Structure 1
Amino acid sequence: MNALTKALTHITPPPFVAPSEYHGIEYRWRFMTFRPAYFETEAYLLLALGAFVLVAIVGIGYNKNKASSWIAKQTPLLTSQFNTTSPLTWDGYSDAFTFSTGRRVVAALHTTFALRPRHDPFQVLFQLGRGLVDVQYSPRDLVELDFTLAEGAVPNDFVWAVVSKRELRGVKDYRWDLTFTKTTDHPALPANISVMSEFADVTEALLKSTPLPILLKELSNLDGFRSLSVTDQPRVRPDVPTSPSKKHVILSLYVSSSAVPPTLFSFIDTLSRINLRPETKNKLRKSREELEKTLNQEAEREEKEKKEEVNEDKRAERRRKEEERIGKLSSAEQQKYLERERKRSLRKSQGRTVRK
């Protein structure tokens, strides 16, 4: 018996031996007999698989219907504002997006959905369990309208946002650009909304130059409002400065039956009228210069560390090859090599002593 045969004997399951007495249901056809009681475990597994597939099919259909219904409600507004809007495209079963273009002031609009993973029962159970442990955790279906503005649509670089007070907790954890801001309340805004701005002058300029009060009144009445922001910085911290920076208006909502108010487009169109005080402009300019300097320093430090790692790897490779070469030498040649290295080290140490 060779080694392969011995290995197979250890992993091969023992043959099934039917008991002499069987009192359950059985089905016979010619020489074949099927006794269901012997496949009870397999039946449960098939039942669980069927339930998983059924939940996945229902979850996929629910998500697609929810996103399609929301887009259908916004279609009249999007059609009136943009020349082209792409069909809803899915990335998996819980993420989807559309792309709109062909409008003055707005270079492009990306509408993205992040729905609950209803197609995966395990993720749904995980979210449910986490919600029982963490009372602040409440997963919901999200939609975000990201307007990439055309050049010159906003005359100054700044980060500003209004956020529903129920969303303030942890908002800076996933929006790096909002770490530039300070959170305050404003008497001219609805009570359930807080302002996040780099400088108070930005908020005052927006209130005077745009239909922001009307827009915020409409948004505060939406059951799905999360935040509205105007930003020149990316949402994720970049590795290197991005120049020139692109301006974005980002509206974040929960997916609900509410429609986006048309005033949002009037607000975007009037952002070019913002006029900040000279001292505010200087502070914003210095802030961006310091940010660019910091990012450049970090990029240079990271590049230096990578080069040092590469050099260290090269040195380690040379040492390994040298050791392999020495190992192939005879004892006498190895002794000569060690003697040469000793003398070389001695000369180096003497040279250092003389310089001192």
Structure 2
Amino acid sequence: MASVLNKVLAVLTPPPHINPVDYDGLQYKWSIFVFRPALFKTELYLLAGLFVYIAFVLIGVSRNSTKARRWFAAHLPILEQQFSKPLGKTGLTQDGYSDFFNFSTGRRNVTSLHTVFTLQPRHDFFQWAFQLGRTLIDLHYRPKDDITLDFRLAPGALAHDFVWAVVAKDELLSIKDDRWDLTFTKTTESPALPPSLSVMSEFADVTENLLKPGLISALSDPKVLPYFRSLSVTDQPRIRPDGPLAASARQKHVILSLSAPPSGHVKDTVALVTALFPFIDALSHVNLRPETKTKLKKMREGLDKDLKADSEKEKKEELSQAAEDKKAAKRKAEEERIAKLPAAEQKKILEKERKRLMRKSQGKTTVRK
């Protein structure tokens, strides 16, 4: 045992350092200590790499924090004017180094507002390098600093159930993959909006009621367009639910998605955010045609039936799979039990099983006349 341990230690122990006798480079002496920088080139490169990585992390953390806090500070006066409680207990809260959020409440027609910053991982060199490499391969992949204002509407603030959105055209390729609720809509053009924007709506009647001059003016602002991604009004969850939602679980939202502007342009989106509040107040006055209401009601009823059917089918498949797994486990346990028996006992059991299978197959055979 001792010899084996000695061999292991011999392998793990690094070889002794031998100072070259003919060293004529730069060196520093103090008492019995001698430092020769030329002998530590590898360590110097490793140390330089560590400093670069640490600097990358610190700069990335600072940039994300600055970007989120400057945008939020520029828009905080709007929240203070509109909400009785514009800030959460700790104000703008940081979750990690790329996610920030704030919770506002206390306003007519709005139960709550979640302001969420999802910024690029500037603090993580490897994620940043991966995203950079992916942009060179996938031309449609463009990582962005996302700001989402999610207004949860109060009961009665929107009397009708529908999904509607204005979306930047460069978002159309991916938005239906990220937003299940928008899969109900059809994409159309509106001459009232800039050419870079499209409308996603279930029915034209909904667009006529929502696309009013105030909103058109805010969306047409040249300062806003570079950062606008989407604005949606929805009665459905963004992620497909496992089954039909109970009446108490149904929520209606107005969701604004922006790309975070540079620090010098954080005020460019103030006008759009300001315009959202009269837009939300006007939702209670939306008056759809009777035939539109009937179609929307039928669509929601059909959607609930489909969700219920899919949920029941999934449960049946899960139960069937569980029964199969249980049967397979029982069969395996029986095979293991038989394998431990003497050969004579195994032969008897196998013969009994063979006769059982033969009787079973004979019972299924039919004689044709």
**Shared topology, TM-score over 0.5?**
yes
TM-fit CA distance, 1:267: 1.0
Could you tell which deviates more after superposition, 293-302 or 2-11?
Answer: 2-11
User: 1:246: which partner in 2?
Assistant: 251
What are the within-5 Å matches in structure 2 for residues 100-119 of structure 1?
A: 100-119=104-123
Unaligned runs of 5+ in 2: none
For 1:335 and 1:115, the matched residues in 2 are separated by 68
Q: 3-state SS of the aligned residue for 1:170?
A: helix
Q: 3-state SS of the aligned residue for 2:173?
A: coil
The residue identity in structure 2 corresponding to 1:177 is D
For 1:204 and 1:152, the matched residues in 2 are separated by 20
What are the within-5 Å matches in structure 2 for residues 279-290 of structure 1?
A: 279-290=291-302
- 1:297-345 deviation line (CA, Å, top 9, x unaligned): 2222222222222222222221222122212222222222222222322
Unaligned runs of 5+ in 1: none
What are the within-5 Å matches in structure 2 for residues 222-301 of structure 1?
A: 222=224, 223-244=226-247, 245-256=250-261, 257=266, 258=268, 259=270, 260-301=272-313
TM-fit CA distance, 1:135: 4.5
What are the within-5 Å matches in structure 2 for residues 6-155 of structure 1?
A: 6-84=7-85, 85-86=87-88, 87-155=91-159
- 1:330–1:191 distance in 2 versus 1, CA, 3 Å: closer
Q: 3-state SS of the aligned residue for 1:235?
A: coil
Match of 1:161 among 160, 165, 181: 165
After TM superposition, the score normalised by the length of structure 2 is 0.88
Asked if the contact 1:186/1:195 (under 8 Å) is kept, the reply is yes
Could you tell which deviates more after superposition, 287-296 or 57-66?
Answer: 287-296
For 1:229 and 1:5, the matched residues in 2 are separated by 71
The residue identity in structure 1 corresponding to 2:190 is H
TM-fit CA distance, 1:292: 1.9
The residue identity in structure 2 corresponding to 1:231 is T
Could you tell which deviates more after superposition, 172-181 or 98-107?
Answer: 172-181
For 1:137 and 1:340, the matched residues in 2 are separated by 64
Aligned pair count? 352
- 1:139–1:337 distance in 2 versus 1, CA, 3 Å: closer
The residue identity in structure 2 corresponding to 1:67 is A
- 1:239–1:355 distance in 2 versus 1, CA, 3 Å: farther
For 1:303 and 1:4, the matched residues in 2 are separated by 57
Match of 1:175 among 172, 179, 194: 179
TM-fit CA distance, 1:96: 0.8
Q: 3-state SS of the aligned residue for 1:145?
A: strand
For 1:336 and 1:38, the matched residues in 2 are separated by 78
Residue 184 in structure 1 maps to residue 196 in structure 2: no
Q: 3-state SS of the aligned residue for 2:132?
A: helix
The residue identity in structure 2 corresponding to 1:346 is M
Identical aligned residues as a percent: 55
- 1:165–1:352 distance in 2 versus 1, CA, 3 Å: closer
TM-fit CA distance, 1:133: 4.3
Q: 3-state SS of the aligned residue for 2:34?
A: strand
For 2:367 and 2:15, the matched residues in 1 are separated by 81
For 2:214 and 2:194, the matched residues in 1 are separated by 10
